[in-house]
Structure 1
Amino acid sequence: MSDAAQLKVQQLIDDNAVVVFSKSYCPYCNNSKRLLDSFDAKYASYELNQESDGAALQEALLKITGQRTVPNIFIGKKHIGGNSDFEAVVKSGKDGKKIEELLREAGAI
């Protein structure tokens, strides 16, 4: 894994209120994006399977988050996790905050 990949991942996280590292064919990724759409959230989706550096970025995400699988979701520069983690936030919140509050604080809605 290159330092350039890690810097790029961090830049994407820093530059976007919400970022979903995804693969276009992944049903869990598509579910997470549909959920975000249902809140009219602004988010960046980075399709790792469609980018020339996607494999390196996925390795960088593993180093940064400990998670290799997709989707790999960040809201307000905070790692949420994968689809099941995101669904849990939607259902019951995270650290006492509901999804709308997290999205609003991040500037996504």
Structure 2
Amino acid sequence: MSATKTKIQTIIDQNPVAVFSKSYCPYCRQAKELLSKSGAKFYAIELDQVDDGSALQSALGELTGQNTVPNIFIAQKHIGGNSDLQAKKGDLPTLLKDAGAV
């Protein structure tokens, strides 16, 4: 596995909720806001603010089939993007509790 994919997997494995984001993205902001309001402890990495951000985004695309941000994982499972997270709003408290993120 490439170092980039290893880094992504480590972030996913070490955090109950991982959000691959961009600081200027309104959808990323909405997703992080919903997680915050839900009381989630989450790890967000801003791909536009790290040197290997574009490589990480490419590798995420290969791993998940999703090339856009936010790219969200809860309990090591790929949730999808903001619209996927918003659609799970009703299940979010249970998902977060099961992941140990609240």
1:21 pairs with 2:20: yes
Q: 1:60, 1:6 → 2: CA distance?
A: 6
1:10 pairs with 2:9: yes
Q: Give the match for residue 107 of structure 1.
A: 100
Q: 1:80, 1:8 → 2: CA distance?
A: 19
The 5 Å alignment of 1:1-109 reads 3-91=2-90, 98-109=91-102
Q: Give the match for residue 94 of structure 1.
A: none
Identity of aligned residues (%): 55
Deviation at 1:85, TM superposition (A): 0.5
**SS at the partner of 1:28?**
helix
Tell me which protein shows more helix as a share of its residues: 1
Unaligned runs of 5+ residues in structure 1 are: 92-97
Deviation at 1:73, TM superposition (A): 0.2
CA deviations over 1:9-66 (Å, ceiling 9, x no partner): 0100000000000000000000000000101110000000000000110011001100
Count of residue correspondences: 102
Unaligned runs of 5+ residues in structure 2 are: none
Q: TM-score, normalised by structure 1?
A: 0.91
Q: 2:96, 2:39 → 1: CA distance?
A: 10
The one-letter code matched in structure 2 to 1:11 is T
Q: 1:108, 1:21 → 2: CA distance?
A: 16
Runs of 4+ in 1 over 3 A off after TM superposition: none
**SS at the partner of 1:50?**
coil
